[in-house]
Amino acid sequence: MSKIAIYPGTFDPITNGHLDLLARAEQIFDQVVIAISDNPRKKPLFATEERIQLLEEAVADRPHVTVDCFNDLLVNYMARKGLRFVIRGLRAVSDFEYEFQLASANRRLDSNVETIFLTPLETNYFVSSSLVREISYYQGDVSSFVPKHVERALALKWASMGRETAEPAE
């Protein structure tokens, strides 16, 4: 029986920190499903379809990783898919309380759900999607935080919204 984990999140956009955690999860599990939360209350910069495309391109060379999306409770999605294990990242102590609360709520809703906490490399501790969006909005260099195709997508997204940005170097 293969061990499959779900790595849920908004991934708006995917960062090198996400990819770092994914690589760690791949060492533990036979398969990892990256599940994009389609939660309009979060008001994402990228539409769900765009986030799916960005993620699929980021993991194209990883045969044991798939990308999916969901728009309900994580535990309901997991039950439909027959999944038990959730991967969550802890960047700093400040993440712990929130992530512990989520893990506890998920376990209360479905006692079969187990959350596995992983930490990124020290170089990625501070990287978050919201930080990347903020830096890119003000034309800062996000090349060390995201894959190249995501950097380009950010520049194009801001330009399409009327924000002039410098096109990233090739």
18 catalytic, yes or no?
A: yes
What spatial distance separates the first Cα and last Cα of the chain, rounded to whole Å?
A: 43
Residue tagged 């501070």 (tokens): 126
* DSSP structural state of residue 93: H
Burial of 107 (0-12, 13-18, 19+ CB in 10 A): middle
Q: Which of 129, 133, 136, 157 is catalytic?
A: 129
Among candidate residues 91, 87, 92, the one with its CA nearest the CA of residue 102: 87
91 catalytic, yes or no?
A: yes
How far apart, in Å, are the Cα atoms of 79 and each of 76, 113, 140? 5, 9, 41
Q: Which of 62, 84, 91, 149 is catalytic?
A: 91
Q: Which of 3, 42, 64, 148 is catalytic?
A: 42
**What's the CA gap between 33 and 87, in Å, rounded?**
10
Catalytic residues: 18, 42, 91, 129
